[in-house]
Structure 1
Amino acid sequence: MPVFDGHNDYLQRAMAAGDGAARLWTEGDGTGHMDLPRLKAGGMVGGFFAMWIPDPETGDIEALLKQKENPPFDLPLPQQVPAAQALPQAFAQAAALYAMERTGTLSVCRSAADIRAAMAAGRIAAILHMEGAEPLANPDALHLWHAAGLRSLGFVWSRPTAYGNGVPFAFPSPPDRGDGLTPAGKALVRDCNALKVLIDLSHLNEKGCDDVARLSDAPLVATHSGVHALCASSRNLTDRQLRQIADSGGVVGLNYNTGFLRPDGRREPFRGHDIMLRHLDHLIGILGETGVALGSDFDGAVMPADLADTAALPGFLQAMQDHGYDRALVERIAWKNWMDVLERTWGG
């Protein structure tokens, strides 16, 4: 069964490989969560490939990770990254994706028709996504990125941008942290709608999500998130937010990040698929069978022990069927719901 995924951070690895990006993609190096051989082994036919800008000053990484592994925690938001610093890295990540396309094994897709054509040809269908709008210095930059293939945009990661505010890494915590969209952010919603760029609510705080819901004429989408009622991370969506997305005909992709799945919020692998299935049950209960998809966060998070990389995806799909989901529902979750919402967002 094919799988279309809502979010991965593979482009960070591809950028780090420099001139070896194409070879890393086609052959793999035994690290990370994904590469072409493992995608083929797991049946993953495409997904959202994210450009993401790391914090320029990360501080004591080990200390921060240790806090995430020992809830409760409430980490301060990093400082805003200037566009001039973000832009070269975004360009390098986009260039790496296009280097992957030149191998003939992947297509950068600008429409649902492009995705279907790539799948039919046996190529990986890649959506160029921007996780955090730091590289957008002004509205004209969105038009330039759109011309370069950008079709999905998250206004924030876990820090502020010129457009809005991300939620901090915090557990337990509600997502209602900070102010809503800035005037520039509200204008960006309208520009995204005009260009038919999908707006990703993932990482955006609650007031910002409310602003998008009020202003946008497209289905609401969170490409990689989880259920706050089951894991009280600031990153996860409350039932009110899930109903808001459901009312718009939108979609939520389930994040595999263990810290956003485990009831105790610990950033540690767990065995089996039961925790993930509980999140899926809850999402289906509010969004319905047409509103739930997958959004792994491969190469950007700690994965469950039995879903350690893309090659393990068939085991997760089988667990859904063993849980009682019929094949039609598993297909909707695995790829069809993404195709449906993209067609309605992009217009075909």
Structure 2
Amino acid sequence: MSALPIPVFDGHNDTLLRHVMNEGTAKEVSFFSENERGHIDLPKARKGGLQGGLFAMFVPSKYDDTSGVPFDPEDPANFAPVDQPGALNFTNRMFSMARRWVRESDGQVVIAKSVAEARKAMSVGKLAMIMHIEGAEAIDKDLYALEVLYAAGLRSIGPVWSRKNIFADGVPMAFPSSPDTGTGLTDVGRELVANCNQMGVMIDLSHITEKGFWDVANLSTKPLVASHSNAHSLCPSARNLTDKQLDAVKESKGLVGINYHVAFLRDDGAHDVNTSIDVLVRHAAYLVDKLGEDGVALGSDFDGCLVPDAIKDATGLPKLLDGLKKSGFGDKLINKIAHENWLSVLERTGI
């Protein structure tokens, strides 16, 4: 009998978006049946040991597009502003999808509103979803929607994606590039951060500009967290964090979740799925050296990026963890990176 995979809590995926965008089309599939259309479904999660994670709700600029055309990072239309009422409605669709999964799962999927609930679910083999917004366009300037979404279970927010909104400016997916590409938090963005601190909602710094990062660092009383970013010193993408930023994350007792997107891992920035797990392990080792053993976790970006073929999808998580082991990471550290560090930083955030 083979050993059970190490439990994984993942910091970022776009699985809800994929299912909502495919709903009612020829690409629609069940979350409860293993299929080849995405990186995560419940059978894949079980095979790979994925037992929890931050499930992102991201509103694309073309959120009403059902053409099935792949996302083109070179198309400016994919970075156009999004209206708040439309973004809130689309976010509600993703929240509704998550609720339906819970209802239809016969108790195997839960929306966890606290770390204690997540730990309890994971301990008995259930999939614990902690709800996250990537880019806060769904939230109005008066933050009314924030209160309602929090009541529904929202516990994590990235104020901005890679486009400007009323809260902050986002970094482009540029290579090679510094993350210092635009402005920082607006006055409303500062109010959002302050309110999230008070409520126990994590602020995610992936996608924000370097100026925005420092604005949050100077304002927030909580750990600094980038849910799915890598080391800029190893891959000079605007989406990755500089050594100075990593120093600030460490000082705050924060965390960085390693992104599996090949263009954020490779030193040449290539969109090449023929990328070795060793490249990802190299980022892990660098981040552990900069942040310490408690500051590094996983932030796959499953269903939202190009994953190395060596991992492929959630079933490949044991291969990644085995790659860490073969590179000299001890069992205790691997368990921290796989799940414990995420749960601990969420607890330190007040969730």
Please give the TM-score of this superposition, normalised by the length of structure 2.
Answer: 0.92
Look up the match of 2:37: 31
Say which of 325, 329, 332 aligns to 1:325.
329
**Corresponding residue for 1:52?**
58
Secondary structure of 1:224's partner? coil
Q: Which has the higher helix share?
A: 1
TM-score where L is the length of structure 1: 0.93
Decide whether the 8 Å contact of 2:29 with 2:35 is kept in 1. no
1:346 equivalent among 310, 333, 350: 350
> Which residue, 255, 266, 287 being the options, matches 1:251?
255
Residue in structure 2 matched with residue 71 of structure 1 by the alignment: none
Aligned match of 1:111:
114
Percent identity reads 43
C-alpha distance in 2 between matches for 1:115 and 1:274: 30
Residue 249 of structure 1 aligns to a residue in which SS? coil
Structure 1: where are the runs of 5+ without partners?
69-74
Range that drifts further, 12-21 or 46-55 = 12-21
- 2:90 maps to a residue whose letter is Q
| 1:202 aligns with one of 206, 223, 226 | 206
Q: How has the CA–CA distance of structure 1 residues 273 and 23 changed in structure 2, closer, same or farther, with 3 Å as cutoff?
A: closer
Q: How does 1:216-235 map to 2 (within 5 A)?
A: 216-235=220-239
Distance in 2 (CA, whole Å) between partners of 1:215 and 1:115 is 28
- Superposed CA deviations along residues 14-69 of structure 1, whole A, max 9, x for unmatched, are 2235489997111133211110000000011110100001112899x77945x69x
Pairing of 1:119-158 with structure 2 (within 5 A): 119-137=122-140, 138-158=142-162
SS at structure 2 position matched to 1:306:
coil
Match of 1:87, as an amino acid?
L
Superposition map of 1:1-348 within 5 A: 1-18=6-23, 24-56=30-62, 64=72, 78-102=79-103, 103=105, 104-137=107-140, 138-346=142-350
Is the contact between residue 111 and residue 129 of structure 2 (CA under 8 Å) also seen in structure 1? yes
CA offset digits 1:156-202 (Å, max 9, x no partner)? 11101110000012110000011110000001110000101000000
CA–CA distance in 2 between the matches of 1:85 and 1:321? 46
Structure 1 runs, 4 residues or longer, greater than 2 Å off: 16-23, 56-59, 61-65, 75-79
How far, CA to CA, are the matches of 1:114 and 1:302 in structure 2? 31
Structure 2 residue ranges without an equivalent (≥5): 1-5
Tell me, yes or no, if the aligned pair for 2:61 and 2:77 is still in contact at 8 Å.
Answer: no
Equivalent position amino acid for 1:39 in 2: A
> Aligned pairs, how many?
339
- After TM superposition, give the deviation of residue 77 of structure 1 in Å: 8.3
Q: Helix, strand or coil: the match of 1:210?
A: helix
8 Å contact 1:27–1:37 — kept in the other structure?
yes
1:222-248 CA distance string (max 9 Å, x none): 000011111111000000000010000
